[in-house]
């Protein structure tokens, strides 16, 4: 086919066998049938599921996808028109330059249109009859602590905070830093900023004072919003002390903040035990509830900034990813609706923290733009035991459950009884986010958690993309365990070689994106040059994702990990995710993390940290068996040079594995471990160092 055919990599879905095709090399099951073995390659939606789905067949998807890439302005304008705009956007709906050789990189969607995302999340839903629908079900860290807010009550709370912020001098375009755990006050604070045109920057409440100070110095907020403390499991963490230290550090760098609004989280710490700076610190409960429950909306241009979210960069300085209002609103709402096949009767729970992009797009904005009922959970998924998630699912009758592969794998380590003692009958769709999910974890999630009846939306996207880029649509086409499958509407993924030449058909290479989509970030705050250099200069004319990707003969996309997580062993490029997936397929391996280390002969060697299933002892025989598993699944060239036994892996509290720390341990650069304060279990690092020579 001609290379300018925008549909060439998606039409292959029409050539897939049907579930009844006995002659196919692909083994198929239908939703409702257990995946009996590693050989079940295709999981088809049942007729019943497909019939009620928003997109119910490959043909319907292809028809919509074709329009989205051939007439993106028209496609997205039709969807945008379903939201409230104070003033319609200029024509055309989109303008872009993706090629730095033609001038500055620039992306604009719905420029000139005036809207407000808070109005569309709350007022619009209330006006359409959802005033008394539950917007947030809140579950506290300790079982038995719970609360809820209807859309009407949520709007009241948001308006009170908006009015307070205006009263202390916050104006359109001003930054507000939010350093809160998963209390209802976190989405309230985000929406309150958006209502008055302020730019929120949520910082995950697990970052150290140094990391928080860096972000405060960079965005110069008018106000910092925090709480005095939070309980994570049985442990209390004094967040206000961290904020105090960050504000002191910021002041040394010339940035002082006049207001620190502090919520009293009584279950973790009473106000009497909270350190206080008079004149700067303000108790939320003493002031905010006194303000009126109505607040005028600040109408903003579609291209006005909505939020800043800092993501780690290779240089060590965090990158301030800037998302604007209109395109992000339309894209987060649309991806949520289709990727989870959302219906108004659904109760939705995403386990991510709002300190990450997933919590912005798929805890707060995407769901509420659709009028969804959202579960917000303050605690940790294994406290007080490994059945906590399913207890919450049964309590609130959760029908859509979206989580990270890391959590899936950690729950796999525990007895299935922690899952099966709960009903989970309300579950309808499962989702995976954050990293590629290995096929064995996918199968466990499907078989055990979803009782083989729930499709899994295995989503690939980034902080920078704002929303899903490659994802299954649950009723539209069969899934392959571990594959993100096909692109979302308007997304044109291409795989290129080292020279930036597009590769056709079945292949492996660098994942790039052609042309813009509404949810794309517009710049790195204060550093547009770094934005262009990092994302648009590696391959001219494309957005470079930084990820490796394999496309199989059926056109399915398999993410192979970050390109900097690709190991070059004797000329073979090996994705760390591939090796990890092979290791975790071993029945005695619960989790694995692979990094590259210098090798005097091969250039790079493969160094694997392996966590065994509960109760399994370390042994030389098991080490050999694990290596043999990788040799069999990938090839001798991918066999790990070192298996490092790991009682646990260094992870952030959101479950992300800190591979930077693992690389330093593997390379014996122990004096360069850096900040470990954001780890859920800092002691794991010491344990790994002690086991280095075992």
At a CB cut-off of 8 Å and minimum separation 6, what does 523 contact? Answer: 322, 531
Q: How far apart are CA 595 and CA 577, in angstroms?
A: 10
User: Bridge-partner residues for 549, per DSSP?
Assistant: 509, 559
Mapped onto helix, strand or coil, the DSSP state of residue 179 is strand
Mapped onto helix, strand or coil, the DSSP state of residue 43 is strand
Q: How far apart are CA 414 and CA 568, in angstroms?
A: 35
Give the angle subtended at the CA of 78 by the CAs of 484 and 74, to the nearest 5°.
85
**Residue position matching structure tokens 């954001």:** 678
> Which pair of structure tokens corresponds to residue 320?
């301030």
Mapped onto helix, strand or coil, the DSSP state of residue 409 is helix
> Which pair of structure tokens corresponds to residue 526?
């204060």
The answer to whether 280 and 221 have CB atoms below 8 angstroms apart is no
Distances 216 to 123, 203, 209, 224, 349 between C-alpha atoms, Å: 31, 10, 10, 9, 30
E strand residue ranges, 552-658: 557-562, 566-569, 572-575, 589-599, 603-612, 642-645
> Which pair of structure tokens corresponds to residue 383?
């406290």
The answer to whether 188 and 202 have CB atoms below 8 angstroms apart is no
The answer to whether 316 and 66 have CB atoms below 8 angstroms apart is no
Question: So which residues are the catalytic ones?
Answer: 564
Neighbours of 8 (CB within 10 A): 14
**Residue position matching structure tokens 């009407």:** 152
N- to C-terminal Cα separation, the chain: 54
Q: Of 537, 608, 532, 533, give the one whose Cα is nearest residue 567.
A: 608
Distances 225 to 180, 190, 282 between C-alpha atoms, Å: 7, 10, 10
């Amino acid at each position: 086919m001609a290379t300018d055919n925008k549909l060439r990599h998606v039409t292959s879905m029409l050539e897939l066998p049907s579930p009844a095709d006995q002659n196919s090399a692909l083994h198929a099951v239908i939703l409702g049938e257990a995946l009996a073995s590693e050989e079940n390659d295709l999981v088809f939606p049942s007729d019943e599921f497909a019939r009620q789905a928003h997109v119910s067949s490959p043909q319907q998807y292809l028809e919509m996808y074709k329009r989205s890439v051939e007439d993106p302005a028209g496609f997205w304008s039709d969807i945008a028109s379903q939201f409230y705009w104070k003033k319609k956007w200029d024509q055309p709906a989109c303008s872009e330059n993706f090629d730095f050789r033609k001038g500055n990189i620039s992306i604009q969607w719905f420029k000139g249109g005036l809207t407000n995302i808070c109005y569309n999340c709350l007022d619009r839903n209330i006006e359409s009859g959802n005033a008394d629908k539950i917007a947030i079900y809140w579950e506290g860290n300790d079982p038995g602590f719970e609360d809820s807010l209807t859309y009407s009550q949520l709007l009241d709370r948001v308006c009170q905070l908006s009015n307070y912020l205006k009263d202390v001098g916050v104006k359109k375009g001003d930054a507000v830093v939010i350093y809160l755990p998963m209390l209802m006050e976190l989405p309230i604070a985000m929406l309150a900023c958006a209502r008055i045109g302020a730019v929120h920057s949520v910082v995950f409440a697990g970052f150290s004072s140094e990391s928080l100070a860096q972000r405060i110095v960079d965005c110069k907020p008018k106000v910092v919003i925090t709480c005095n403390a939070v309980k994570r499991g049985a442990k209390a963490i004094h967040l206000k002390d961290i904020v105090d230290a960050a504000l002191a550090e910021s002041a040394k760098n010339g940035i002082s903040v006049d207001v620190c609004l502090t919520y009293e989280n009584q279950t973790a710490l009473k106000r009497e035990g909270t350190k206080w700076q008079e004149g700067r610190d303000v108790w939320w409960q003493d002031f905010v509830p006194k303000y009126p429950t109505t607040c005028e909306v600040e109408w903003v241009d579609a291209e006005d900034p909505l939020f800043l979210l800092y993501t780690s960069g290779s240089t060590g300085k965090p990158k301030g990813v800037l998302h604007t209002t209109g395109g992000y609103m339309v894209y987060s709402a649309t991806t949520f609706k289709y990727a989870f096949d959302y219906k108004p009767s659904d109760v939705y729970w995403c386990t991510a923290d709002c300190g990450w992009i997933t919590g912005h797009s798929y805890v707060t904005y995407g769901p509420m733009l659709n009028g969804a009922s959202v579960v917000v959970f303050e605690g940790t998924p294994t406290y007080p035991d490994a059945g906590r998630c399913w207890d919450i699912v049964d309590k609130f009758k959760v029908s859509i459950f979206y989580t990270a592969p890391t959590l899936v794998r950690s729950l796999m380590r525990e007895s299935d009884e922690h899952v099966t003692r709960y009903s989970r009958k309300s579950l309808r769709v499962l989702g995976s986010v954050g990293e590629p999910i290995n096929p064995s974890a996918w199968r466990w999630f499907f078989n055990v958690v979803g009782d083989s009846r729930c499709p899994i939306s295995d989503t690939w996207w980034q902080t920078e993309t704002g929303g899903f880029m490659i994802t299954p649509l649950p009723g539209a086409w069969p899934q392959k365990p571990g594959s993100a499958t096909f692109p979302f509407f308007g997304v044109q993924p291409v795989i290129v070689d080292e020279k930036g030449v597009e590769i056709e058909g079945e292949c492996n290479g660098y994942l790039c994106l052609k042309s813009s989509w509404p949810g794309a970030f517009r710049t790195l705050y204060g550093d547009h040059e770094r934005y262009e250099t990092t994302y648009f200069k590696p391959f001219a004319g494309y957005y470079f994702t930084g990820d490796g990707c394999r496309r199989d003969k059926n056109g399915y996309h398999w993410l192979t990990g970050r390109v900097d997580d690709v190991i070059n062993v004797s000329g073979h490029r090996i994705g760390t995710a591939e090796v990890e997936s092979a290791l975790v397929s071993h029945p005695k391996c619960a989790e694995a993390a692979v990094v590259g280390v210098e090798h005097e002969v091969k250039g790079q060697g493969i160094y694997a940290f392996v966590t065994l299933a509960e109760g399994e002892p370390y042994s030389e025989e098991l080490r050999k068996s694990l290596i043999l598993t990788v040799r069999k699944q990938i090839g001798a060239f991918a066999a790990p040079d070192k298996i490092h036994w790991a009682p646990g892996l260094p992870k952030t509290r959101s479950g992300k594995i800190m591979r930077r720390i693992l690389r330093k341990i593997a390379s014996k650069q122990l004096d360069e471990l850096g900040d470990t304060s954001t780890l859920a279990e800092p002691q794991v690092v010491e344990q790994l160092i002690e086991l280095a020579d075992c």
